[in-house]
Structure 1
Amino acid sequence: MSGLTVFLDGKPVTLAELPLKGGGQAAVFPVVGDDGIVVKLYREPPGMEQERRLMRMLTMSPLAARPTDRSQPPELAWPTALARGPQGEFLGYAMRRFGEPDHVQVIGLFTRAQRLKLFPDRADWRFLLGVAWNLAFMTARMHYDNLVIGDFSSSNVVVDANGFVTFLDCDSIAFNDPVNGELFPCLMHTTDYSSPERQAGGPATRATDDFALAVLVYQLLTAGNHPFGGVPHDSASESTVKDNIAASCSYVVRPERVVIPRGTIDPSVLPPELLTLARAAFGPGVHAPAARPPAEAWLRALDKERSLVRVCPSRPLHTFGSHLTSCPWCTRAATTGHDVFNGPAPVSVPVPDPRRGQHPGDPDGSWPAALKVAVLIAVLVVLVIIGLMS
């Protein structure tokens, strides 16, 4: 069934009657007859400020200087056109479509049932590590391009079958107009990924992005566990994740302070360098933004671990960090009766390594030597440039 007709660059398009998704401020609609784009319509008149923001965004090409593999989707769901009504009134904007089955929200990787449904025989710990690497790379790269994600959460990022990530809701990204320097701030945030200063109404910054990135990386490496879950022992009432963040109460740093939720995976599944970064972010980094590990620190540590991942000899979907001498997932399954990763059928081919820029058609993730060197040099150059500018 058809719904509203809107105009994109003067061309009329008809939207489906039902949205793909909706929130408190906007809803995203498919376009009838065009599966490649969607239109985001604001529920309340967005006003001149938002229209001006999007007009400036249409003149920008963020991340355009970085070459990507042809099989890789765009890294940002950037606005492609303004959506207007019949009288020229500003209603929203169009963007590329990123949805199931080709793309799923990162939150879909946080439960076993969803992982097996969406990524059968693929979404092991090594795959989650690769997604975490891509998130860290993208965060560092966006900061290098002077973009602040702002509303950074597991629902605003989608991932494809190769582990490549795409950021949604780019209309909330904070940036300075490259022509006149005018700041367009991010006014949105998601509480479970918001640092205390962001919760208190402070602006979105690189440091607030670094906090959200740390939470997301930790969730990925623990198959969905939030580092600020649980209830403090001294709490008089049920505590929320937001409360625990504000109180700097994380079981990753001070487990003795928290009644840890049943089934929580022990933080020791993280390799030592990554666990050190997590404890810095969820300990001193909660209230001291300068103490939070930046995105490039996560990137370096994740990159080091990717080549060292171990594979369980008994169950091919059990992969784990190089610091462990035995499979933690087998141990957990034997103890609890719950297998975090293993699917109903064994895999018959090697599990792909979801590295950004993976060589097309190479199922075991191996690259030609020259390509390995080229990619490594490119990553190091970006890190050096970021370091010089920080």
Structure 2
Amino acid sequence: VARNIASSFATVHEHGHVVGDVNQNSFMVGRDSKVVLIDSDSFQINANGTLHLCEVGVSHFTPPELQTLSSFVGFERTENHDNFGLALLIFHVLFGGRHPYSGVPLISDAGNALETDITHFRYAYASDNQRRGLKPPPRSIPLSMLPSDVEAMFQQAFTESGVATGRPTAKAW
């Protein structure tokens, strides 16, 4: 399912478009694990040089660098923004719906608001999660159960390096 979600995003990106309003209601999964993207009226479409922006979004799927925007009106999104949401969807699939920025607070201002934890890159499963201020919830699936390259992709997607050098692409997943 995760691979098929990524493949759907890759197809959108290959055509020069952006999903934009990425969230858990962005797709449907068939009995055969095929994925269909839905809610496409909010895609950011580049049609013959005219850009039709996606002006909506779900805060807990919004990347850290966009969390402080008061509105998406007039804002041009990028594939890298989609790649954050895609990584979140894949994380949800692999970890039973858990959010990577939700966990046990290790500092006083962590764990109060998901949007704040996203803004501050408090990825609970990060290799340096003690510094970030969140650790995984009790009895959660350990990240170490994944192949090391997938673990590294989540680290890239959910930390500052994803903004600086780019998050894993849909094709990479």
Given the two structures, how large is their TM-score scaled by the length of structure 1? 0.40
Contact 1:245 1:286 in 2 (8 A): no
Distance 2:171 2:110 in 1: 38
Q: CA RMSD in A?
A: 1.8
Distance 1:285 1:188, change over 3 A: farther
- Find out whether 1:136 has 2:6 as its counterpart: yes
After TM superposition, the structure 1 stretch with the greater mean CA deviation from structure 2, 236-245 or 139-148, is 236-245
- Name the aligned partner's letter for residue 211 of structure 1: F
Distance 2:5 2:113 in 1: 25
In the alignment, is residue 291 of structure 1 matched against residue 159 of structure 2? no
Correspondence for 1:266? 142
Q: Measure the CA separation in 2 of the matches of 1:238 and 1:278.
A: 20
Q: Tell me if 1:276 matches 2:158.
A: no
In structure 1, what is the Cα distance between the partners aligned to 2:63 and 2:116?
A: 11
How far is the alpha carbon of 1:136 from its aligned partner? 0.9
After superposition, residues 42-81 of structure 1 pair within 5 angstroms as none
Task: Tell me the CA shift for residue 285 of structure 1.
Answer: 3.5
Following the alignment from structure 1 to structure 2, what is the Cα–Cα distance between the partners of residues 235 and 283? 20
Ranked by relative contact order (alpha carbons within 8 Å, sequence separation 6 or more), the top structure is: 2
Structure 1 portions without partners, runs of 5+: 1-130, 299-390
Residue identity opposite 2:102 in structure 1: G
Quote the residue 1:228 is aligned against: 101
Which amino acid counterpart does residue 161 of structure 1 have in structure 2?
R
* Matched-pair contact (CA < 8 Å) for 1:148–1:205: yes
Deviation sequence 1:210-239 (CA, Å, 0-9, x none): 011111112211222211112532234752
Please give the alpha-carbon distance, in whole angstroms, between the structure 2 residues aligned to 1:234 and 1:293: 29
- The one-character-per-residue Cα deviations of 1:344-365 (angstroms, maximum 9, x if unpaired) are xxxxxxxxxxxxxxxxxxxxxx
Alignment counterpart, residue 29 of structure 2, candidates 159, 180, 184: 159
Whichever residue aligns with residue 129 of structure 2, its letter is P
CA 1:283–1:237: 2 relative to 1, 3 Å? closer
- Closer/same/farther in 2, CA of residues 186 and 171 from structure 1, 3 Å limit: same
Provide the rounded CA distance (Å) in 2 between the counterparts of 1:147 and 1:291. Answer: 17
Report if the CA contact (8 A) 1:158-1:167 is conserved. yes
Q: 1:227 to 1:266 in 2, by over 3 A?
A: same
Shift of 1:247: 0.3
SS at match of 2:171: helix
Distance 1:246 1:160 in 2: 34
Superposed, 1:240-389 pairs within 5 Å as 240-253=113-126, 254-256=128-130, 257-288=133-164, 290-298=165-173
**CA contact 1:195–1:286 (8 Å) conserved in 2:** no
Cα pair 2:125 2:136 within 8 Å, conserved: no
| Uncovered stretches (5+) of structure 2, i.e. residues with no partner | 70-74
Conserved 8 A contact 1:198-1:204:
no
CA distance in 2, matches of 1:157, 1:134: 10
**Post-superposition offset of 1:241:** 2.0
Tell me the number of residue pairs that the alignment of Structure 1 and Structure 2 aligns: 165
The 1:285/1:158 distance shift into structure 2, 3 A limit, reads: farther
Q: Return the index of the structure with the highest Cα Rg.
A: 1
Task: Give the 3 Å change call, closer, same or farther, for CA 203–231 of structure 1 in structure 2.
Answer: farther
The answer as to whether partners of 2:18 and 2:82 remain within 8 angstroms in 1 is yes
SS in 2 for 1:224: coil
1:182 and 2:50 are equivalent in the alignment: yes
Residue 20 of structure 2: aligned partner: 150
Measure, in 1, the Cα distance between the counterparts of 2:10 and 2:123: 25
> What is aligned with 1:193?
61
Q: State the Cα distance separating 1:269 from its structure 2 match.
A: 1.8
Letter aligned with residue 106 of structure 2: H
What is the percentage of aligned positions where both structures have the same residue? Answer: 30
TM-score, normalised to structure 2, is 0.86
Give me the whole-angstrom Cα distance separating, in 2, the residues matched to 1:277 and 1:139. Answer: 16
Partner of 1:162: helix, strand, or coil? coil
Match of 2:86 among 204, 213, 221: 213
Q: What residue in structure 2 maps to residue 16 of structure 1?
A: none
